[in-house]
Structure 1
Amino acid sequence: MPIWKKIEQKQFSPIYLLYGTEAFVINETKQRLIQSVLTEEEMDFNFSSYDLEDIPVEAALEEAETLPFMGDKKLVILQNPVFLTAERSKDKVEHNVKKLEEYIANPAPYTIVVFSAPYEKLDERKKITKLLKKNAEVMEANKLNEKELKAWIRTRAAANQAQIEEEAIDHLLAIAGTNLMMLASELDKLSLYASGEQPITVEVVDQLTARSLEQDIFALVDKVVTGKVEKAFRIYYDLLKLNEEPIKILAVIANQFRLIYQTKELARKGYGQQQIAGFLKVHPFRVKLAAGQARSFSDEQLAAIMMMLADSDLQMKTSGMAKSLIAEMFLFKLQSLMQKTG
C-alpha cells in the first residue's frame, strides 16, 4: 500500500525515512503526517523539528522519548541527517549514532520520528543506513520520469475532483515544465476552473497556465522551427514587456539550443532518453522535447546558430548597442538561416 494511503488511514510507522531530491514530495508527505497525526491544539505541545546540522541526534531522541502532553502521539522531524550519506561530514556537531541505533531497535510507541534526507543517495554500506532502511517506512522521492509525472498529474487532478485529458497533460508539461511545486499550483487553479463539471482540456491549459521563461523560449524556438516567425517575435516582445532582460533571454535561448545540440549528438551515439537526461542532468521530458526540435536542424545549422549566439553574447557585453536590438538581430539572423537552409 502506498505510504500516503497508509497515512490517510492512520496506519502509522514509529519511524519514517524520506529521502531523495524531489523536495515537493518530501514536504507534502511531512505535511500529510502532521495533519493526520496531530490536531491544531496538539501542535504546540507534541510537534518538534530539529536540524541535525545544528543539533546532535541524541538531543532529538530525548524529545522523542518524552511522553506526549495533552495527546496520544508526538511527531518529531529530523532534518538533514548527513551521516546517512557518503559525504564527508560538515556538521558543527558530533552525533551519537550508537544512541540512534538503540532507539531504532526499540522506538517509543507514542512517538513518530521522521528522517527528512534531501539526498539523491544514501550510503548503503553504513550500519545505521541499513538499520533505518530495515526498520523504517521508507519513501524514495527522486525526480519522476515522464510516465510517473503524468500519473502524478492525473492523481493530483482527481484529488481536486477534476479530470484532465491526456493531450492537456502533455500541453501542461510543455508550458509549465516539470517542477512539481509549479505543476501543483497550476493544477489546483485548473481544477478550480473546471469545478468537476468538465474535463481540463488543452484550451483551458493554454488559457490559464502561467509560463516560465524557459517554456516561453522553448515556444519561441518552436515557432521559428515551424516557420511561424511572427509568433516568435511576438513572444520576444511580450517578454520585453514583462521586463525580462535581453541578455537573460539570449542566455536561455542559448541553453535551449545547447540542449538540442547535445541531445542530437548523444542520440547519434546511441544514448536513450533516460541516459541523455542523466548525462545532462535535466528532466527526461525536456530531453524528449529537445529531441523533437533537434529533428528540424542539421548539424551545420546548429553549429552556425551556436556561433551566432556566441557573437550576440559578445556584442551585448562589449558593444554600446542596445541589448534588446542585439537579441532582435539574432532572431532575424535565425529566421534567415532557417529560410536559406529549409
Structure 2
Amino acid sequence: MNVLDKIKKKNFSAVYLLYGTERFLINEAKQILIQNALTEEEMDFNFSSYDLEEMPVELTLEDAETFPFVGERKLVFLHNPTFLTAEKTKGKIEHNIAKLEAYLEEPAPYSILVISAPYEKLDERKKITKLLKKKAEVLEAKKLTEAELGSWIQGRAELNGVRITKDAADMLSGLAGTDLMMLTNEIDKISLYVGKGNEINQEMVEKLTARSLEQNIFSLVDKVVHRKIDEALRIFYDLLKQNEEPIKILSILAGQFRLIYQTKELARRGYGQQQIASTLKVHPFRVKLAAGQAKLFSEHELKKIMDMLAESDLQMKSSGLDKKMVVEMFFFQLNSQKT
C-alpha cells in the first residue's frame, strides 16, 4: 500500500516528508491529507501552514506541540525547508535544527507534521536529512517515467469512474504533454464526455484533447513538410495570438526537425521505435509521428533544414529583423526547397 492509499484509509504517520520538483504530486498529497485528516469544522482551528524561508523551524514546532483546540489532531505544513538542500535558496533564516531533531525522535501524538521540500535532491550528507528519511513517511514527487505516466493516467481515469485504453493513454500524453495538471484537466473533460462506467479510446482522445505547444508545433511542421504553407501560417498566427514568442516557436521547430533527423538516422541503423524513444529519451508517440515525417526527407535535406533553422535563430537574435518575419521567411524557404 503506497503513502497516499494509507492516508485515504486514515492510517496516518506523525511526520511526512514530501520532496521533489513535480509540484502537482506534492499538492495532491497535501489535499488528500487535508481531506482525510481534518473535518471542515476543524480546519479553522487545527490547520497551520508556515514558510520556513520566513520563520524559524523551532517556532513552527511550538504549534505542533500545542494540543488541538477542537477535535483529535492538528495538521501542520512546513514549506521550503532550505536546510535540507544544497541548492541556492533565498532563505536567510537561522533554524534551530537540534529542536527539529528532538521533535522527530518524539513527535507529538496529536499532530501530523508535513515537511514540503520542492527540491530535486536533498542534501544526503546532513544529519537532519538522514533522520527525516528514517523517521518520516517519505513521498518523492519526481517526474514520472513513460511507464509511470501511463499508469498514472489510467489511475486518474479510474478516479473519475471510467477506463482508458493503453493506446489512448499513450496518445493523450503525446498530444497534451507530460504536465500533470494539464493531463488531469484533459482526463476530467474526456471523462465527463464518455460518462461513468465507459471507456476512453483513441478516437475520443484525438477528438477532444487540447494540444500542447509542442504538439501544435508538430502540426505546424506537418503542414510545412506537405507544402500546405497557408495552413502552417494559420497555426503559426494562432500561436502568436496565444502570446507564444516567435523565438520559442523557432526553438521547438528546431527541436522537432532534430528529432526527425535523429529518428531517421537511428532507424537506418536498425533501431525499432521503442529503442529510439529510449535512446533519445522522448515519448514513443512523438517518435512514431517523427518516423512518418522522416520518410518525406533525405538525410541531406534534413541537414540543410537544420542549417536554415540555425541561420534563422542567428537572425532573430542579432539582425534586428522582426522575429515574426524571420519565422515566416523560414517557412517560405523550406517550401521553396521542397518544391
- Name the structure 2 match of 1:196: 196
Q: Normalising by the residue count of structure 1, what TM-score does the alignment of the two structures yield? A: 0.84
Structure 2: which 5+ residue stretches go unaligned? none
- Name the structure 1 match of 2:304: 304
* Alignment partners' CA distance in 2, 1:265 and 1:89: 43
Task: Please state how far the C-alpha of 1:334 moved relative to its aligned partner.
Answer: 2.5
Deviates more, 1:200-209 or 1:179-188: 200-209
Task: Please state how far the C-alpha of 1:215 moved relative to its aligned partner.
Answer: 1.4
CA 1:205–1:87 in structure 2 vs 1: closer, same or farther (change >3 Å)?
Answer: same
CA contact 1:48–1:75 (8 Å) conserved in 2: yes
* Alignment partners' CA distance in 2, 1:128 and 1:263: 46
> What code does the residue aligned with 1:112 have?
I
Q: Does 1:17 align with 2:14?
A: no
C-alpha deviations, 1:143-166, integer Å up to 9, x for none?
001000000000000100011122
Structure 1: which 5+ residue stretches go unaligned? 278-282
> Which secondary structure state, in structure 2, belongs to the residue aligned with residue 308 of structure 1?
helix
Task: Please state how far the C-alpha of 1:330 moved relative to its aligned partner.
Answer: 2.1
State the aligned residue count.
330
Task: Please state how far the C-alpha of 1:125 moved relative to its aligned partner.
Answer: 1.8
Q: Normalising by the residue count of structure 2, what TM-score does the alignment of the two structures yield? A: 0.85
Task: Please state how far the C-alpha of 1:14 moved relative to its aligned partner.
Answer: 0.4
Task: Please state how far the C-alpha of 1:222 moved relative to its aligned partner.
Answer: 4.0
Matching of residues 175-190 of structure 1 within 5 Å: 175-190=175-190
CA contact 2:58–2:100 (8 Å) conserved in 1: yes
CA 1:30–1:154 in structure 2 vs 1: closer, same or farther (change >3 Å)?
Answer: same
Matching of residues 18-33 of structure 1 within 5 Å: 18-33=18-33
Task: Please state how far the C-alpha of 1:255 moved relative to its aligned partner.
Answer: 3.6
- Name the structure 2 match of 1:147: 147
Deviates more, 1:171-180 or 1:313-322: 313-322
CA contact 2:254–2:306 (8 Å) conserved in 1: yes
User: RMSD across aligned C-alpha pairs, in angstroms?
Assistant: 3.1
- What percentage of residue pairs aligned between the two structures are identical? 58
Matching of residues 270-285 of structure 1 within 5 Å: 276-277=280-281
> What code does the residue aligned with 2:173 have?
L
- Name the structure 2 match of 1:280: none
- Name the structure 1 match of 2:235: 238
C-alpha deviations, 1:170-192, integer Å up to 9, x for none?
22112100110100111011101
CA contact 1:263–1:287 (8 Å) conserved in 2: no
C-alpha deviations, 1:255-282, integer Å up to 9, x for none?
43345567888998x99755754xxxxx
- Name the structure 1 match of 2:253: 253
Task: Please state how far the C-alpha of 1:253 moved relative to its aligned partner.
Answer: 1.3
> Which secondary structure state, in structure 2, belongs to the residue aligned with residue 69 of structure 1?
coil
